[in-house]
Chains A and B, each alone.
Chain A
Amino acid sequence: QVQLVESGGGVVQPGRSLRLSCEASGFTFTNYTFHWVRQAPGKGLEWVTLMSSDGSHKLYADSVKGRFTISRDSSKSTLYLQMNSLRPEDTALYYCAREVETTTNWFDPWGQGTPVTVSS
């Protein structure tokens, strides 16, 4: 079935780096735009970044621009989020989501999330 599975989260000190992965299955990976969305503990949803289906467009939230990089390995149907210069405010559950596009667009499905804690 259509599924996204994130991994790579953990506890990291401020200023350090972490790479998250999101493995897709059940559909053709390169046909879709993908997003990362995060949710701080007890808080709402914050969009982080997207990569277009052809890989040519990458856009970022201002809060992570210059620190985070989205990428993919199509041969592995896997999306990545490289997070550098991490800050305590980056602490959150990170979800990857597939964008479904018709005349509008929405996110479906979402992965189960991988937790990132930035703390000394």
Chain B
Amino acid sequence: DIQMTQSPSSLSAAVGDTVSISCRASQSVTNFLNWYQQKPGKAPKVLIHAVFRLQSGVPSRFSGSGSGTDFTLTISNLQPEDFATYYCQQSYNIPITFGQGTRLEIK
């Protein structure tokens, strides 16, 4: 199984800040790397697929980068609605695996 490791596990930031979340795969997932946002009591929602492709309707302050085993989700100019938990996901191999999540909290 491909292990996905996110860091940090939690993050505190202020509105207007820029933050980055790292996701490392235990082996190459090429570009089969997606990012999801989950708010309390809600289902996950895809933000970015294929490393950097923004899902329709997602604000451009979200961006993704990386390749192979190392990936980054960057959120610029944080807005109040961005405080949530973020998960990376590899869809390269079965079993599909997720990172453990990064909880983004308001400072």
A-B contact number at CB 8 A: 60
Residues 12-70 (chain B) with a chain A CB within 8 angstroms: 31-32, 34, 36, 42-46, 49-50, 55
B91 within 8 A of A: yes
Q: Which of A12-20, A24-32, A76-84, A108-116 contacts B (4 or more CB under 8 A)?
A: A108-116
Contacts of B42 in A (CB 8 A): 112
Which A residues touch B71, using CB under 8 A?
A: none
> Are B96 and A111 within 8 A (Cβ)?
no
**Which chain B residues border A95 with CB–CB below 8 Å?**
43-44
Q: Which residues from B are CB-within-8-Å of A100?
A: 49
The verdict on A103 contacting chain B, using a C-beta distance below 8 Å, is: yes
Residue of B32, B89, B96, B97 with highest tally of chain A CB at under 10 A: B96
Contact status B99-A105, CB under 8 Å: no
With the chains together, A103 CA to B31 CA distance in Å?
A: 9
From A44, A50, A105, A112, B87 is in contact (CB under 8 Å) with A44
A87-120 vs B, CB cutoff 8 Å, 1 = contact: the mask equals 0000000010000101111111111110000000
> B100 at interface (Cβ–Cβ under 8 A)?
yes
A47–B97 touching, CB < 8 Å: yes
